[in-house]
Structure 1
Amino acid sequence: MKFPKFQDLILFENDDLIVINKPPFISSLDEREGGEINILRLAKQYSPDAQVCHRLDKETSGVLIIARNPESYRLVSMQFERRKVKKVYHAIIDGTHVFNELQVDLPILNMGNKNVSINRQEGKPAETWFNSLVYFKHYTLAECRPVTGRMHQIRIHLATQRASIAGDEMYGGKPVFLSSLKRGYRLGKEQEEQPVMKRFALHAKSTTFRINETDEMTFEAPYPKDFATLLKLLEKFDS
Structure 2
Amino acid sequence: MSAINKSLIQLRAEVPSDLGGQRLDQVAAQLFGEYSRSRLSAWIKDGHLLVDGAVLRPRDTVYGGSVLVLEAEQEAQGEWLAQDIELNIVYEDEHILVLDKPAGLVVHPAAGHQDGTLLNALLHHVPDLVNVPRAGIVHRLDKDTTGLMVVAKNLQAQTKLVDQLQKRTVSRIYEAIVIGVITAGGKINAPIGRHGTQRQRMAVTDGGKPAVSHYRVLERFRSHTHTRVKLETGRTHQIRVHMTHVGFPLVGDPLYSGRFRIPPAASPTLVQELKSFPRQALHARFLELDHPVTGERMKWESPLPDDFVWLLTLLRQDREAFVG
Same fold (TM over 0.5): yes
Partner of 1:233: 314
The within-5 A match list for 1:21-40 is 21-32=100-111, 35-40=114-119
Give unpaired runs (5+ residues) of structure 1: none
1:118 corresponds to:
204
Cα distance in 1 for residues equivalent to 2:262 and 2:248: 18
Which structure 2 residue ranges, 5 or more long, are not aligned?
1-83, 130-135
Instruction: State the match for 1:106 in structure 2.
Output: 190
Match of 1:215 among 296, 299, 315: 296
Residues 1:96 and 1:83: Cα distance change in structure 2 (over 3 Å): same
Contact 2:270 2:315 in 1 (8 A): no
Higher relative contact order (CA 8 A, sep 6+): 1
Distance in 2 (CA, whole Å) between partners of 1:62 and 1:124 is 24
Partner of 2:227: 142
Which letter maps to 1:223?
L
**71-80 or 201-210: which moved more?**
71-80
Aligned-partner Cα distance in 1 for 2:162–2:270: 50
> Matches of 1:140 and 1:193 in 2, distance apart?
16
Off by >6 Å, runs of 4+ in structure 1: 176-180
Distance in 2 (CA, whole Å) between partners of 1:49 and 1:178 is 52
Q: What pairs with 1:31-70 in structure 2 (closer than 5 Å)?
A: 31-32=110-111, 35-50=114-129, 51-70=136-155
Mark the CA change 1:62 to 1:186 in structure 2 (over 3 Å): closer, same or farther: closer
Name the structure 2 match of 1:161: 246
Q: Cα gap change, 1:176/1:45 in structure 2, threshold over 3 Å: closer, same or farther?
A: farther
SS class of match (2:309): helix
Rounded to whole Å, the distance in 1 between the matches of 2:273 and 2:214 is 35
Once the two structures are overlaid, the 10-residue window that deviates more, 217-226 or 172-181, is 172-181
Amino acid at match of 1:68: K
Match of 1:11 in 2: 90
**How many Å apart are 1:4 and its aligned residue?**
6.7
- Of 279, 284, 287 in structure 2, the residue corresponding to residue 199 of structure 1 is 279
1:77 aligns with 2:162: yes
Amino acid at match of 1:109: G
Say whether the 8 Å CA contact 2:252–2:274 is kept in structure 1.
no
Deviation at 1:15, TM superposition (A): 1.2
Deviation by residue 1:139-188 (Cα, 9 ceiling, x = unmatched): 110011111111111111111111111111321355688997425x599x
| Equivalent residues of 1:27, 1:58 under 8 A apart | yes
Higher mean C-alpha displacement, 202-211 vs 168-177:
168-177
What does residue range 81-96 of structure 1 map to in structure 2 within 5 Å? 81-96=166-181
2:255 alignment partner in structure 1: 170
Tell me: CA distance 1:198–1:33, structure 2 relative to 1, closer, same or farther (3 Å): closer
Q: Which amino acid is the alignment partner of residue 106 of structure 2?
A: S
> Does structure 2 retain, via aligned residues, the 8 Å contact 1:168–1:175?
no
Distance 1:186 1:149, change over 3 A: closer
